[in-house]
Structure 1
Amino acid sequence: MSKQYAGTILRVYPGSLAEELGLVPGDKIWSVNGQNLRDIIDLSFAMADEEIDLEIEHGDGSREVISFDKDFDEELGVEFSSAVFDGIRRCANHCYFCFVDMIAPNMRSSLSIKDDDYRLSFLYGNFVTMTNMGPHDFKRIEQFHLSPLYVSVQCMNPELRAQMLRCRQAAAIAEQLDRLEQAGADYHTQVVLCSGLNDGEELERTIREVAARRPHALSMAVVPVGITKYRNDPFPLAQFDAAGAARVIDAVEPWQEKMRREDGRTFFYLGDEFYFLAGRDVPPADYYDGFPQLDNGIGLTRNFIEEWGKTVPSELPYDEPICLDVVTGTAVAPVLRKLAESVDKRNLTIRIIPVANDYFGHTVNVSGLLTARDIIARLQAMPGRRDGILLPESALRSGEDVFLDDVSLSEMKAAFPEARIEVVRSGGDYRRALTDWLHYHKDRGAECSYTWQSNAGYTKPSDE
Structure 2
Amino acid sequence: MCLPTGTPVCAPYPQILRTSVGTYGSEIVLNHMKGGSVCDVEPHSLAARLDIQSGDVIVSVNGHPLRDVIDFNYYAGEPLVEIVVQRGRETLRLAAERRFGEPLGVSFAHPTFDTDIRQCVNRCEFCFVAQSPRGMRRGLYIRDDDYRYSFLFGQFITLTNLTEEDWQRIEQQHLSPLYVSVHATELDLRRRMLGKADAPDILTQLRWLAERNITVHTQLVLIPGINDGIHLEHSLTDLVALYPAVRSISVVPVGVTRCHAPGLRAYAPEEAARLLEQVQPWRRHCREQFGVTLVYPSDEWYLLAGRSIPSAAEYDGFAQLENGIGIVRQFLDKWRRLKSRIRRRRHRAIQAKADEMFHEEERSLDKVQGRRQRKAGITVACGQMAAPILQKVCSEMEAIAGKRITVFPVINNWYGGNVAVSGLLIGRDVVEQLRGGGMRDQVLLLPRVMLDSTGKVTLDDLTLEEIECALEVPVVVAQSPSDIWEVLQDGLVSE
Global fold match (TM > 0.5): yes
- The equivalent of 1:84 in structure 2 is 112
Q: Does 1:426 align with 2:455?
A: no
Task: State whether residues 322 and 349 of structure 1, in contact with CA within 8 Å, keep that contact through their aligned partners in structure 2.
Answer: no
- Tell me how far apart the structure 2 counterparts of residues 81 and 104 of structure 1 sit (CA, whole Å): 30
- 1:333, CA displacement in angstroms? 0.3
Q: Say yes or no: does 1:287 pair with 2:314.
A: yes
Cross-structure match for 1:261: 288
The Cα shift of 1:41 comes to: 1.3
Aligned to 1:197: 226
The answer to whether 1:69 aligns with 2:96 is: yes
SS of match in other structure, 2:273: helix
SS state at 1:68 partner: strand
Q: Which residue in 2 is equivalent to 1:364?
A: 419
Q: CA deviation at 1:429?
A: 3.0
Distance 1:199 1:220 in 2: 14
- The secondary structure found in structure 1 opposite 2:446 is strand
Secondary structure, aligned partner of 1:348: coil
Q: Indicate the percent of aligned positions where both proteins have the same amino acid.
A: 39
2:448–2:455 CA contact under 8 A, matched in 1: no
Displacement of 1:176? 0.7
1:91-139 deviations in Å (ceiling 9; x for gaps): 1111121111122323222222222111211111111110112443233
2:384 corresponds, among 318, 325, 330, to: 330
Match status 1:271 vs 2:271: no
Distance 1:181 1:431, change over 3 A: same
1:22 Cα deviation (Å)? 4.3
Over alpha carbons, which structure has the higher Rg?
Answer: 2
SS of corresponding position for 1:342: helix
Question: Do residues 241 (structure 1) and 268 (structure 2) align?
Answer: yes
In the alignment, residue 104 of structure 2 is paired with which amino acid? L
Q: Following TM superposition, by how much is the alpha carbon of 1:38 offset from its aligned partner in structure 2, in angstroms?
A: 1.1
Q: Secondary structure at the match of 1:54?
A: strand
Q: Alpha-carbon deviation of 1:384?
A: 4.9
CA distance in 1, matches of 2:396, 2:320: 29
Structure 2 gaps, min length 5: 1-14, 16-32, 347-352, 356-373
Distance 1:129 1:317 in 2: 49
How far did residue 77 of structure 1 move? 1.6
Shift of 1:200: 0.5
* Preserved contact between residue 356 and residue 362 of structure 1 (Cα < 8 Å): no
Q: 1:134 to 1:277 in 2, by over 3 A?
A: same
Alpha-carbon distance change, 352 to 21 in structure 1, aligned in 2, over 3 angstroms: same
Deviations 1:263-294 (A, max 9, x none): 22211111111112112222222221221111
Task: Say whether 1:305 aligns with 2:332.
Answer: yes
2-structure distance, mates of 1:105, 1:187:
33
Residue equivalent to 2:212: 183
RMSD: 2.4
Aligned partner of 2:157: which letter? V
Local SS of the residue matching 2:192 = helix
Relative to structure 1, is the Cα distance of residues 347 and 215 closer, same or farther in structure 2, using a 3 angstrom cutoff?
closer
Q: Secondary structure at 2:85's aligned position in 1?
A: strand
Change in Cα spacing, 1:276 to 1:171, as seen in structure 2 (3 Å) is same
Contact 1:193 1:223 in 2 (8 A): yes
User: Contact 1:51/1:67 (CA < 8 Å) preserved in 2?
Assistant: no
Cα 1:438–1:20 shift into 2, 3 Å? farther
State how 1:92-111 maps to structure 2 within 5 Å.
Answer: 92-111=121-140
Deviation at 1:14, TM superposition (A): 4.0
Residue of structure 1 aligned with 2:252, choices 223, 237, 257: 223
Q: Is residue 7 from structure 1 mapped to residue 36 from structure 2 by the alignment? A: yes
Q: CA deviation at 1:204?
A: 0.7
Distance of 1:364 and 1:202 partners within structure 2: 25
**Relative to structure 1, is the Cα distance of residues 274 and 386 closer, same or farther in structure 2, using a 3 angstrom cutoff?**
farther
Note closer, same or farther for the CA distance 1:374–1:439 as it changes in structure 2 (3 Å cut).
closer
Q: Structure 1 pair 7/166, CA: closer, same or farther in 2 (3 Å)?
A: same
Inter-CA distance 295–364: structure 2 relative to 1 (3 Å threshold):
same
Check 1:285–1:74 CA distance in 2 against 1; reply closer, same or farther (3 A cut). closer
In the superposition, the TM-score normalised over structure 2's length comes to 0.82
Paired residues of 1:181 and 1:216 also in contact (CA < 8 A): yes
Distance in 2 (CA, whole Å) between partners of 1:101 and 1:155 is 20
The structural deviation recorded for 1:239 is 0.6
Q: Does the 8 Å CA contact 1:259/1:266 hold for their aligned counterparts?
A: yes
Please name the residue that 1:444 is paired with. none
C-alpha distance in structure 2 between counterparts of 1:161 and 1:288, whole Å: 27
Cα offset for 1:181? 1.0
Give the 3-state SS of the residue equivalent to 1:256 in structure 2. Answer: helix
Alpha-carbon distance, 1:322 to partner:
3.8
Q: How does 1:29-178 map to 2 (within 5 A)?
A: 29-58=58-87, 61-72=88-99, 73-85=101-113, 86-178=115-207
* Number of corresponding residues: 432
Identify the range of structure 1 (191-200 vs 345-354) with the bigger mean alpha-carbon deviation. 345-354
| CA distance in 2 between partners of 1:366 and 1:242 (Å) | 16
Contact 1:139 1:183 in 2 (8 A): no
Does the 8 A contact of 2:412 with 2:419 survive in 1? Answer: yes
Q: What is the TM-score with the length of structure 1 in the denominator?
A: 0.87
Unmatched tracts of structure 1, length 5 or more: 441-464
